[in-house]
Amino acid sequence: MRDVVILGVGMTKFGISSLSQKEMFAEAALEALQESQVKARDLQALFVGNVLGDFEEGQINIAPFLAAEIGMRPEAPATRFESACASATVAVRHAALLVRSGEYDLVMAGGTERTAIMGTPLATKTFAMGSHSEYERFSGITFPGVFGMVAHQYAAKYGIPLESLKQAMAKVAVKNHKNGVLNPLAHFRKEITVDTVLQSPMIADPLQLFDCCPFSDGAAAIVIADAERFGDRVEKPILVAGTGQGSAGPLYRQKDLTRMAAREASAKQAYEEAGLGPSDIDVIELHDCFTIAEVVALEMLGIFDFGEAPEAIERGDTALDGKIPVNPSGGLKAKGHPIGATGAAQTYEIVKQLRGECGDRQVKDAKVGLVDTLGGDFGTVCNLVLRRY
């Protein structure tokens, strides 16, 4: 098996943008190419996450337009990946797998999304299309609703008073906003308090507005290459040490929503492939679409024992200066969540952390990092273990 490395990364500022999805992607892609010291015409393929472009801009099959936009050649296949919020991570993973297999030596992966233009009612409706269209959607279930059910089930399962769980959840939001202040590309750069969360409007019980990440616009791009042929182009290539991806059916088949089969399968694959375990991880970017999502993800990734994440969060273990810093970028909560670009942006952050380029939000001496992205009602989870090469 060949070693696969990330040569360079690029990312737009996340937030509300007046740029089109193609314009945003071009900005991120050109930055990634420049960092990588390679040219677009040398890229052999493009793998791009994009979820709701159909509704946002009336644009399907965006991938070849993006390839043409940045000057890739007709010989290079360009393909859109759609796995809801996990789309870009799935794109990055497939890019890495095809480089490792020897099919390609130099490719780009990434994602672009312009969610804010939809407005909240259409965005809520289109996001809910991630639920089973015959047997779930007609209940009016929403993504916050799904994670509201996770929170209630978690409290019942572990016998934790809902008010205590909500305190720990609020601390996730407070921590991620604090990190976001240090990230110039974050959507929100403003500290909040536990009271900000607990006094915000209820969205889907027990989740309040500040338990939820925003709809954002943004793009990110990653150049992935065979280490032997291209590794010496840059000073600090980052190894894709392991990847994983799991799948699961509708919520009513998953039953215990505090244990997501797709994530446990995916994380296991990624750790095993990397020959590493949870205790080897120095920094994590994980899918905090809602505060409770960060709580349960930490347990399924093996960072804390089941039922113990709330206590660890209260202790500060996941803070920037804690035992295992989580979401130093601000996470989806503060950095923002342009769904089809999110996984590429998580990868961007881990690459920058492992290169030691994160300034005030730098995790000290980070050598191994983990990316965790969840799509739909936990139907898709994709993980990447990255390390210094």
Partner 1 sequence: MSSYPLTFHEFKQGLAEGRLLGLKCLECGAGSVPPSAVCAECGSPKLEKNSFSKDGLIRTFTVIRVGPEGFEAPYIVALVELNEGPWVLGNLVEFDAAAAGMDLINKRVTVSSKGIPPDPGAAGVEGVVLTFELT
Asked if 153 touches partner 1 (CB under 8 A), the answer is: yes
CB of 126 to partner 1, least distance (A): 8
Cα dist from 26 to 22, 65, 318, 340, whole Å: 6, 10, 34, 15
Q: Quick check: is 358 catalytic? A: no
Identify whether the C-beta of residue 240 lies closer than 8 Å to the C-beta of residue 378. no
Nearer to partner 1, 72 or 300 (CB): 300
Convert residues 31-50 into a mask of x (bound to partner 1 by CB under 8 A) and - (unbound).
--------------------
Contacts of 192 (CB under 8 A, 6+ apart): 173, 174, 177, 210
Asked if 310 touches partner 1 (CB under 8 A), the answer is: no
Asked if 58 touches partner 1 (CB under 8 A), the answer is: no
- Specify the pairing of strand 380-388 against strand 238-247: antiparallel
Asked if 162 touches partner 1 (CB under 8 A), the answer is: yes
- Choice among 132, 337, 358, 382 that is catalytic: 337
For residue 322, which of 201, 159, 171 has the smallest C-alpha distance? 171
- The separation between CA 243 and the C-alpha centre of its own chain, rounded to angstroms, equals 14
For residue 112, which of 336, 301, 342 has the smallest C-alpha distance? 342
Query: What part of residues 201-230 is at the interface with partner 1 (CB under 8 A)?
Result: 201-207
Q: Alpha-carbon distance 212 to 143, whole Å?
A: 10
Q: Quick check: is 85 catalytic? A: yes
Asked if 253 touches partner 1 (CB under 8 A), the answer is: yes
Nearer to partner 1, 204 or 381 (CB): 204
- Choice among 85, 212, 289, 358 that is catalytic: 85
CB of 149 to partner 1, least distance (A): 4
Longest dimension (CA), the chain: 59
Three-state DSSP state, 277: coil
Query: What part of residues 90-149 is at the interface with partner 1 (CB under 8 A)?
Result: 120-122, 124-125, 128, 133-142, 144-146, 148-149
Active site residues: 85, 337
Contact footprint for partner 1 (CB under 8 A):
120-122, 124-125, 128, 133-142, 144-146, 148-150, 152-153, 155-156, 162, 201-207, 249-253, 255, 257
